[in-house]
Amino acid sequence: MMIIPVILSGGSGTRLWPLSRKQYPKQYLSLAGDNTMLQETILRLSGLDNLADPIIVCNADHRFLVAEQCQQIDIASPTILLEPVGRNTAPAITAAALQSLKQTDDAVLLVLSADHVIQDVEAFHQAINIASQQAQAGKLATFGIVPTDANTGYGYIKASKDDVNGAHKVEEFVEKPDIKTAESYLEQGNYLWNSGMFMFKAATLIDELTTHSPEIVTSVNDAVNNAEQDLDFIRLDKQAFESSPSDSIDYALMEKSDNVVVVPLDAQWNDVGSWSALHDIGIKDNNGNVIKGDVITQDTTNTYINANHHMVATIGVDNLIIVDTPDATFIATQDKAQEVKFIVESLQADGRDEGGMHRKVCRPWGWYDSIESGEHFQVKRLHVNPGAKLSLQMHRQRAEHWVVVSGVATAINGEEILTLKKGESTYIPLGVTHALENKTSEPLEIIEVQSGTYLGEDDIVRFEDIYGRVKD
């Protein structure tokens, strides 16, 4: 029996704006520890028996970010499934199950979200071992969080009071309740928060889905069978995947099957769905503040401050959320922090980049930071990783000037191949084919000055690319 973690990493995480954005959502950030949330999700499984490398389901735009973060924690061979469109959790999990059956017909899947915090790893492992036994017995197991309060932000699972080897038959899935109902659930003692984590055999899942939601299995099976290998990634077929109903696994299966059990989990779990949640789980100073970054406080209490870019100073404030980034600062009272979604919606409606993009943008070769811009010009700082190479490309509407700040660059500028060291530069006229490579073992830093009538990222014509982006 092999346990294959299935990590769902396709969310946009806008409730933690401005740090988490569609282009760089929360699961790829270090919010609750030294590692990113995706990395923590993988690392906390260390020590489990018969554990295989994970299957990670993510947005195609995040594929290189996922691969890089796996490499950083020595996960050499993850299976990375690329969703062409978001279709909710049922199609994503089905795709992972069908892919796992190509590896082994006896796989037990441990389905996890990439953006949860679980602080008591030992208790988590104990719950996994219980759920694994249930899965091997042909059950669909879900993990129910032992509630700590009458929370109205979660769905609930009503568990039978009969304990069978640490698991309980599920009697009912309940939508998010009002406060009075939640209080009654807490008092009764057999209601658990729905965590969105599961464990079952891949074959059991497919059999049950074929009974209860056959159209999902049909569509996703076609998407997997017609998938395209793209470097180290698997691109699910877009047309087939799009044809699948967009349903949660709860709606598509768990609420319909009579074969579902729940394993209670009391492991200091948090889905980090708000800035207030990060304050709750963070390490607090003597005044109840959670501080990240360069922060000076005076007469400040019960406040979360994340100084991601500038020094932040506060005097005489209480119960606030303060998050500073290079291009946006968010301030709210703790009880209003959830309403950040309205800010994001407003930014998106106005077509502003801050709604979904950071100033600093990750690329498979490294990253760039848009330092300054104005009419017909833009200045970027480029960081090129050792051994990385930008695509051979040209621009129809802009020229570029590269200045090496540190490292050694190998540059193609038209017919010329140049070696540029610190302080040296080259000018690339509009329409000239060019490329940039770091052949050294040290990072390369470039200042790029763009000038032209249009400076958007879509003004790139790629001819060659080691990352397979010519067809993007």
* Boundaries of every domain in the chain: 2-270, 284-348, 360-464
What does the pLDDT average to over 409-430?
97
CATH of domain 2-270: 3.90.550.10
Specify whether the CB–CB gap between 159 and 171 falls below 8 A: yes
Tokens 């009764």 locate to 188
- The rounded distance, in Å, linking the Cα atoms of 412 and 392 is 8
Mean model confidence pLDDT for the chain: 95
Report which of 143, 122, 145, 121 is spatially closest to residue 132, judged by C-alpha positions: 143
Specify whether the CB–CB gap between 39 and 120 falls below 8 A: no
Query: How much is the pLDDT for 472?
Result: 57
pLDDT in tens, 66-108: 999 999 999 989 999 999 999 999 999 999 999 999 989 889 9
What does the pLDDT average to over 222-237?
95
Report which of 427, 434, 438, 436 is spatially closest to residue 461, judged by C-alpha positions: 434
- The rounded distance, in Å, linking the Cα atoms of 110 and 3 is 7
Class of domain 360-464: mainly beta
pLDDT in tens, 118-130: 999 999 999 999 9
pLDDT band at 316 (very low <50, low <70, confident <90, very high): very high
Query: How much is the pLDDT for 385?
Result: 96
pLDDT in tens, 255-294: 999 999 999 999 999 999 899 999 999 999 999 999 999 9
Strands 366-374 and 360-363: antiparallel
Residue 469 has pLDDT above 80, yes or no: yes
Query: How much is the pLDDT for 170?
Result: 96
Query: How much is the pLDDT for 308?
Result: 84
pLDDT band at 14 (very low <50, low <70, confident <90, very high): confident
Check the CA dihedral 206-207-213-217 and report its sign: positive
Residue 240 has pLDDT above 60, yes or no: yes
- Strand order of the sheet with strand 409-413? 416-420, 409-413, 434-437, 392-394, 461-464
